[in-house]
Amino acid sequence: MKNENILIEADSFRDHLDIVTDEGKRKVIYPKKPKGRFHNARMIFSIILLAFLFIMPLIKIGGHSFMMFNIIERKFIIFGQVFGTHDFFILALGFISFVVSIVLFTAVFGRVFCGWACPQTVFLEMVFRKIEYLIEGDYLRQKLLDKSPWNVKKIIKKLLKWSIFFSLSVLIANTFLAWIVGIDELRNIITDPVKQHLWGFIAMLLFSGAFYFVFAWFREYACIYVCPYGRLQGVLLDRNTTVIAYDYVRGEPRGKLRKNEERLLGDCVDCKECVVVCPTGIDIRNGTQLECVNCTACIDSCDTVMDKINKPRGLIRFASENSIKDRTKFKVTGRVVAYSILLTVLTGILVILLITRNPIDVTILRAPGMIFQEQPDNKISNLYTMKLTNKTFEDVPVIIKLENIDGDIKVIGNEIKVGSNDVSETKFLVLLDKNKMKAMNTPLEIGLYKNGEKFSTYKTTFLGPLPNNQ
Ligand code: SF4
Ligand code: SF4
């Protein structure tokens, strides 16, 4: 009975969230300022990611954005290559490959993405929280400040923090918009009268407000309550997944370190340094939990404690449940192999599609329901429909010529021209001399030229009457 009670107590953390009080109110988390080798590595990685985020929308090549995800106009520019709705297949495959790679990565390395690359964590932990530490001090000072009555010092600190937070939110919102509409359009939204870009201005305000709300107040709630990826961890992780884990075999039974006393307990000195540093307020010693965003702060804290008590580092480390329990090394599971094969196949198809992607796609079909038409001067004509898809930044005027046979082409309507990242449809007649036709079915090769240079040859057939000699 006693053992049962101990087990129930040990598992009691599963019955509640550490960020909610027993009354159901929010428990504000004041994480201790993290420091250590993992934190430094994350800092460097975050700086690279932030530089990428802020600099990319500013880069233009040949007058066009280098990166842009214009979901409104369904126009995407990725590393200078323009993609539109006609590239749906490539974009969809790219997205699926991205999702599979995250699933694979999660199955092997757990929520590494959350701790190292997720914009929410990068901005919150590496930007907003750093400013908070700078203005309000470390966690104990922050707690004290929040509990203290409003006075001049508190008002100045809070106003300073909130105004910097809001300015940063506006900057992030503008950057976010630049990724969507491009830097030129963003400049217009900022500099033109509000009336001219009312929706752009409203979007900027909404984004700024949303970012401020998330980074100043909502914080870890976004990861724990809203993020669907976080919620999927239960199905993505297994006992062989490398997660941030406490080595309970080495650490337990935990207990305070006492001077001049032979230690018969495990290596965990129950200092709770790993708990106070956690931005989601959990105790990693309870095992892998949904709230853990793999920020590595607890590893750094525990390593510092281990250094102080002359014990090896890594009581909390990247490890799988099985490797801790059985003291084994990393194991490749069937699931990892299956995901890897799937990802390799998807990436292979994607690469082939990208390599074979033509800047201008051509389809020429004989008009449905029509066979051939008799024309004056002993000529036979066929009507064709040509669809051109232009995947470049320039408008392209196109000239078509018969390449393998004497005959005429009459374009119906104006000159053939297809706009940038657009699709055009043109009808034209091919006229052949009846006497020169040797069969009912004559192969045709139609050359397509832009600026005097042939960029494609399309093969089709021409239908005519049965020649007299057959
Ligand atoms: S920091 Fe390390 S030693 Fe301290 S409580 Fe956490 S696991 Fe135990
Ligand atoms: S348990 Fe450790 S890694 Fe997970 S969120 Fe807390 S401090 Fe970060």
Domains of the chain by range and CATH? Answer: 20-235 (no CATH), 240-328 (no CATH), 360-463 (2.60.40.10)
Find out whether the beta carbon of 346 lies less than 6 Å from any atom of ligand 2: no
Average the pLDDT over 357-369 and give the result: 88
Structure confidence by residue, pLDDT tens digits, 325-358: 988 877 777 877 888 888 899 899 999 988 888 8
d(CA 282, CA 280): 6
Residue type, 387: K
Q: Please answer whether residues 33 and 301 qualify as being in contact, where contact means their C-beta atoms are separated by less than 8 angstroms.
A: no
Separation between Cα atoms, residue 208 and residue 177, nearest integer Å: 10
* Count of CB atoms situated within 10 Å of the CB of 135: 17
Which pair of structure tokens corresponds to residue 194? 């509000």
Q: Using one digit for the tens of pLDDT, what is the confidence trace for 52-70? A: 999 999 999 988 899 999 9
**13 C-alpha to ligand 2 centroid (Å):** 15
Task: Please report the DSSP string for 424-466 in residue order.
Answer: EEEEEEEEEEGGG--SSEEEEEEEEEETTEEEEEEEEEEE-PP
**Is ligand 2 within 6 A of the CB of residue 280?**
yes
Q: What's the pLDDT band for 8 if we cut at 50, 70, 90?
A: very low
pLDDT of residue 100: 84
The residue whose C-alpha atom lies closest to atom 3 belonging to ligand 1 is 268
- Mean pLDDT of the region 394-398: 91
Residue listed under structure tokens 């500013």: 58
Average pLDDT over residues 412-430: 90
pLDDT digits (tens, 9 = 90+) for 260-276: 778 889 999 999 999 99
Residue located via tokens 């709300």: 213
Average pLDDT, the chain: 89
Helix (H) or strand (E) holding 96: helix 88-109
Q: Which ligand has its closest atom nearest to the C-alpha of 274?
A: 1
**pTM, whole model, 2 decimals?**
0.82
CA distance 388 to 401: 15
Q: Write down the pLDDT at residue 27.
A: 86
Q: Which of 339, 297, 299, 341 is nearest to 317 (CA)?
A: 299
Indicate whether 3 pLDDT > 60. no
Cβ of 298 less than 6 Å from ligand 2: yes
Of 14-18, 107-111, 132-136, which has the strongest mean pLDDT?
Answer: 132-136
d(CA 398, CA 418): 8
Closest ligand to 290 CA?
2
Smallest-distance ligand from the CA of 302: 1
* Pocket, ligand 1, Cβ cutoff 6 A: 246, 251, 268-274, 285, 301-302, 305, 315-316
Q: Classify 7 in phi/psi space as left (phi over 0), alpha (psi -120 to 50) or beta.
A: alpha
CB of 302 within 6 A of ligand 2: the answer is no
Atom in ligand 2 nearest the alpha carbon of residue 277: 7
pLDDT at 368: 81
Residues pairing with 362 in the sheet:
388
116 Cα to the center of ligand 2, angstroms: 12
How far is the CA of 22 from the CAs of 13, 15, 19, in angstroms? 12, 11, 10
| Predicted local confidence at residue 235, as pLDDT | 83
Residue 367 has pLDDT above 90, yes or no: no
Do the Cβ atoms of 444 and 430 come closer than 8 Å?
yes
Measured distance CA(145)–CA(128) in Å, rounded: 17
Q: Would you list the DSSP string of 173-232?
A: HHHHHHHHH-HHHHHHHHHS-GGGGHHHHHHHHHHHHHHHHIIIIITHHIIIII-HHHHT
As a whole number of Å, the end-to-end CA separation of the chain is: 102
State the Cα torsion 103-109-115-117 to the nearest 10°.
-60
